[in-house]
Amino acid sequence: MMTHSQIKVFVTEALLLAIVSAALIIGGFLWSNDRADKRLQREYKQKFGTVLAAESYTPLTGKVLNDFPEINSVYRGYDKDGTPVGYVFDMTVALPSDKTTKLDFRIGIDFETSRVTGLMCEDPKVDRRLQYLESTLLGKQIPVAFRRADTTVSDDETYAPVEGLKDGIYYAQRLIDDRSKFVDYVEMEIKGGKITRVNWDAFNLDMTTEDRSYASLSGAYEISGLDWAVQSYNICHALLKLQDPDRLAMKSDGTTSIVDGVTCNIQCFVDLSKECINYSREGYTKDKYLSAINRIYTETMGSTPDADGVRNKAGYIAFSFEKTPEVYTIYDESGSARGFRTVREIEAIMNGKRLNKLTPTPTPSPEATPDPKNDSRNAERGAEDGYVKGSSEDEQTLTDSIDDLPMSEVATYIYPPSDSYVEARLAIRAFNTGYKFLKAYLNWRV
Amino acid sequence: MSRKRAVKKEAVRLAPFIHTEKNAPYIYLTLIAAMVPCSIYAAFYYGLRAIILILFCVVTFTLSDLLFTHIAGRGGKGEYFDLSSASSGLMLALILPPDTSLITALTAVLFGSIVTKQIFGGPGSNLVNPAAAGRLFVSLVMPSAVKGYAEGGTEGWFMLRTLIFGSKSGEFHDYTNCSFPELITGNFPGSLGAACATCVLLGGFFLVMRGSIRLYAPISYFVTLTLFFPLSNLLARGTSFGYDGYIAFMLSSGVVFVAVFMLGDLTTMPSRFTAGFFAGMVCAMLTLIMRAFVRPDTALLAPVLSVNFMSFVLDFLMKTISRRNLRSREVDVR
């Protein structure tokens, strides 16, 4: 056994050892750290320079990485001035259907525009085979999908617009509010005979309440699935592609299964969009519509909207005609409701005119729901749920998801290489995973 | 009455009756003190996760040893508490990659403690180095969990994520790009505490001062590595027969740590000069050959276990040879 003095000596020596070593470590670190940094950047440049040209690279850390097991590491690249130029991902990617086939990729994404700056596979043979893919993708925005193999919708693909559209801005709103006192409206812009902009939102009868899109983003308005604002965006985006509300394949329950990320009832959107399209054919612009609804309110209520304080900041009349159904309801001979008049039709009646073509549109109220069998809308929509009029069977599934991303978010479509489909598909998955990471990391809103 | 019984008990205890300052706790305490520089290096370069990993390995190794000793019925006889568990746990932590998860560390600890130490009879009876065996076990069984080393530095001082999730980005680097200052100070991606040659040598110096190391094997190990490095270079790269990358290899591969803390070990290495020298030589040769074909960590540790296994045979053979000319059955106390 050690004596007391021996223990003292031992402890003193051990402490001395610790102090000397600490001094050596800190001194050594200060001496060598500059060299280590330079060496590290040299290694990064050598490793990542082919996929993203940058002056320096910094690894990204954070809990978000835990949600992406395929990502080994992510780096942000900077130029000489220290301005970020892009991201480099180091990934090991496998297909969900075949976990055994794995490839290691390095991909580069531009900082500002999310465009592809480079692709490299660590397997040199595969890398050579993917040269074509890399050259195709360079400068293209992510996420990416194959044109034929994974989807039937493409940004490049053109859908015939509805005939007879006149250029201008058109608008339609519901005449009654929903349970949350929101009044839906759709605004549509036509240019060159095509729908070029669509906005679906709703303002509230209570003017202190924000619009539905903002309310959904702030959490004040919640529905199942994605935020209402995101769903609204997705359905508008789909209509821009498809150019015809009938192609949205709305089912009898008001939902659609062909637009990813949209689970809400789109009946109101489809009806108001059709109303806008009809207005466009007739040249009945937004200004005329707002003027007409102003007149309808005045003649129905006996005072002006401004006097009653029902005009909101955006200039829309935040009022529900629920208590005056005779204004907008079409009754048959037996006195049963069989449809609803549009603002244009109500205005025509007020003018003492009779329109050639009656366009039954929206605004179903709980008290007066038309019989779906007799509803002329079904004839336009098609007899079966989700059926797309005038399209082949393949085209009926207009959207799908790729790598858990809704097709509405896909920015680039490419043709898959015939000789290395699996490898190319894995590379696409790598890019899409990178996109999802950036979306989560940077809190992108789509 | 009880005192008489105690005296009686004392009287019937069996030999040996050797009393020395350098008993097992002293030797293990010295070993732990010698590894303090490496631990400080780990804490400085890898921060909180290194401290947690070191403490975790030390505590779990000790607990595992205590539990197994209790289950096996070997404890409770008033024997002293030796520090072999703590020193093995510490040594194991220092040769793990910095981004090792706790579950991987625990696997290594349990293998080192139970399979290589307790099953063979506990402290002093183990054939192989428990730390090296535990580390090699996870390299072979869970290769993706210890697939390389991460960069150290002040940025990652408070990063604890890897303790749970491990690391996905580790890799074995090419250290020939490192400058001499980086290599000698350990400022490059390496194992938790074995990368800094300066710290290891400082610990080795302390062991020599305290007489807790046999130098035969480490010296022959270094000499053989130096002599045969060109041959290994030819095998590994197939291009040059020379000393390209010799300094980088010696300072970055962990051979200094192996030489000081594993080949100098009093329990698992041969006790005689010739046997120790031979074991060091064999270990070095195996390392040089294996580095051309297997992972660096395997090439470093598998040869250590090989010579551990053969050390008692070597000792026995050398003892027999040395006694060949002796007339009596006197005990060789060298």
Distance of alpha carbon A394 from alpha carbon A149, whole angstroms: 12
The answer to whether the beta carbons of residues A10 and B33 sit under 8 Å apart is yes
**pLDDT value for B14:** 57
Percent of chain B with pLDDT over 70: 85
Residues 6+ apart with CB under 8 A from B136: B297, B298, B301, B302, B305
Is the per-residue pLDDT at A367 higher than 60?
no
Mutate to test the interface with B, among A12, A13, A21 (most CBs of B within 10 A): A21
Closest CA to B312 of B249, B269, B248, B277: B269
What residue in A sits closest to B179 (Cα-Cα)?
A35
Burial zone of B195 (CB within 10 Å; 0-12 exposed, 13-18 middle, 19+ buried):
buried
**Where do the domains of chain A lie?**
56-151+401-441, 168-393
Closest CA to B256 of B191, B210, B310, B305: B191
Q: Which SS3 state, helix, strand or coil, does residue A331 take?
A: strand
What residue in B sits closest to A17 (Cα-Cα)?
B37
Rounded to 10 degrees, the C-alpha dihedral B117/B122/B123/B128 comes to -30
Distance of alpha carbon A220 from alpha carbon A233, whole angstroms: 18
Rounded to two decimals, the ipTM of the complex is 0.83
Amino acid at A437: F
The answer to whether the beta carbons of residues A390 and A381 sit under 8 Å apart is no
Q: Which SS3 state, helix, strand or coil, does residue A445 take?
A: coil
Angle, in degrees to the nearest 10, between helices B84-94 and B36-46:
40
pTM for the model: 0.61
Per CB-CB distance under 8 Å, the chain A contacts of B40 are 18, 21-22, 25
- Please tell me the distance in Å from A131's CA to the nearest CA on chain B: 25
Angle, in degrees to the nearest 10, between helices B48-72 and B36-46:
130
Q: How far is CA B247 from the centre of its chain?
A: 22
DSSP codes of every residue in A251-291 = -TTS--SSSTT--S--HHHHHHHHHHHHHHHHT--HHHHHH
Q: Does A29 or B271 have the greater pLDDT score? A: A29
- pLDDT-derived band at A5, boundaries 50, 70, 90: confident
- Please tell me the distance in Å from B214's CA to the nearest CA on chain A: 20
Strand A144-146 to strand A412-414: parallel, antiparallel, or no bridges (unpaired)?
Answer: parallel
Closest CA to A397 of A41, A151, A176: A151
Is the per-residue pLDDT at A398 higher than 70?
no
* Torsion-angle region of A363 (φ positive above 0: left; ψ -120 to 50: alpha; else: beta): left
Distance of alpha carbon A434 from alpha carbon A239, whole angstroms: 28
Q: Does B22 or A286 have the greater pLDDT score? A: A286
Asked if the C-beta of A29 comes within 8 angstroms of chain B's C-beta atoms, the answer is yes
pLDDT single digits (tens) A118-148: 998 888 888 888 888 888 888 888 888 876 4
Distance of alpha carbon A181 from alpha carbon A186, whole angstroms: 17
Average pLDDT of span A24-42: 90
**pLDDT value for A151:** 33
Per CB-CB distance under 8 Å, the chain A contacts of B30 are 10
Distance of alpha carbon A262 from alpha carbon A408, whole angstroms: 10
Is the per-residue pLDDT at B324 higher than 70?
no
- Please tell me the distance in Å from B101's CA to the nearest CA on chain A: 14
Per CB-CB distance under 8 Å, the chain A contacts of B45 are 25, 29
Q: Cβ–Cβ contacts within 10 Å for residue A347, how many?
A: 21
**Where do the domains of chain B lie?**
20-320
Q: Cβ–Cβ contacts within 10 Å for residue A22, how many?
A: 17
User: CATH classification of A168-393 is 3.40.50.2300, yes or no?
Assistant: no
- pLDDT-derived band at A98, boundaries 50, 70, 90: low
Q: Which of B169, B179, B209 sits opposite A35 (nearest CB)?
A: B179
Q: How far is CA A369 from the centre of its chain?
A: 32
Distance of alpha carbon A103 from alpha carbon A24, whole angstroms: 43
Cβ within 8 Å, pair B168-A71:
yes
Please give the C-alpha separations between residue A254 and each of A136, A177, A181, A247, A367, in angstroms, as whole numbers. 40, 17, 20, 14, 18
Tell me, letter by letter, the H, E, C secondary structure of chain B: CHHHHHHHHHHCCCCCCCCCCCCHHHHHHHHHHHCHHHHHHHHHHHCHHHHHHHHHHHHHHHHHHHHHHHHHCCCCCCCCCCCHHHHHHHHHHHCCCCCCCHHHHHHHHHHHHHHHHHCCCCCCCCCCCHHHHHHHHHHHHCHHHHCCECCCCHHHCCCCHHHHHCCCCCECCCHHHCCHHHHHHCCCCCCCCCCCHHHHHHHHHHHHHHCCCCCHHHHHHHHHHHHHHHHHHHHHHCCCCCCCCHHHHHHHCCHHHHHHHHCCCCCCCCCCHHHHHHHHHHHHHHHHHHCCCCCHHHHHHHHHHHHHHHHHHHHHHHHHHHHCCCCCCCCCCC
Average pLDDT of span A196-206: 90
Residue ranges in A322-444 assigned as alpha helix (H): 343-350, 376-381, 393-396, 421-441
Q: Which SS3 state, helix, strand or coil, does residue A356 take?
A: coil
**pLDDT value for B327:** 53
Residues belonging to chain B with any Cβ–Cβ distance to chain A shorter than 8 Å: 21, 23, 26, 29-30, 33-34, 36-37, 40-41, 44-45, 151, 153, 156, 159, 161, 165, 168-169, 173, 177-179, 181-182, 184-188, 196, 198-199, 202-203, 206, 209
Cβ within 8 Å, pair B37-A17:
yes
pLDDT single digits (tens) A410-431: 788 877 776 677 788 888 889 9
Query: What mean pLDDT value characterizes chain B?
Result: 84
Query: What mean pLDDT value characterizes chain A?
Result: 79
**pLDDT value for A400:** 54
Average pLDDT of span A218-247: 84
Which one-letter DSSP state was computed for residue A371? P
Q: Tell me the CATH number for domain B20-320.
A: 1.10.3430
Per CB-CB distance under 8 Å, the chain A contacts of B199 are 21, 24-25
Closest CA to A146 of A405, A413, A401: A413
Cβ within 8 Å, pair A24-B202:
yes
Of A369-383, B18-32, B299-313, where does mean pLDDT reach its minimum?
A369-383
Average pLDDT of span A78-90: 90
Q: Which of residues 59-118 of A touch B (CB under 8 A)?
A: 61, 63, 65-66, 69, 71-73, 90, 92
Is the per-residue pLDDT at A402 higher than 50?
yes
Enumerate long-range contacts of A97-100, CB under 8 Å, 24 or more apart.
Answer: none
Mutate to test the interface with B, among A13, A25, A68 (most CBs of B within 10 A): A25
Amino acid at B27: I
**pLDDT value for B333:** 46
Phi/psi at A72 (nearest 5 deg)?
-80, -45
Cβ within 8 Å, pair A22-B198:
no
Please give the C-alpha separations between residue A397 and each of A232, A428, B50, B324, in angstroms, as whole numbers. 19, 21, 53, 91
For chains A and B, count residue pairs whose Cβ atoms are closer than 8 Å.
104
**pLDDT value for B81:** 64
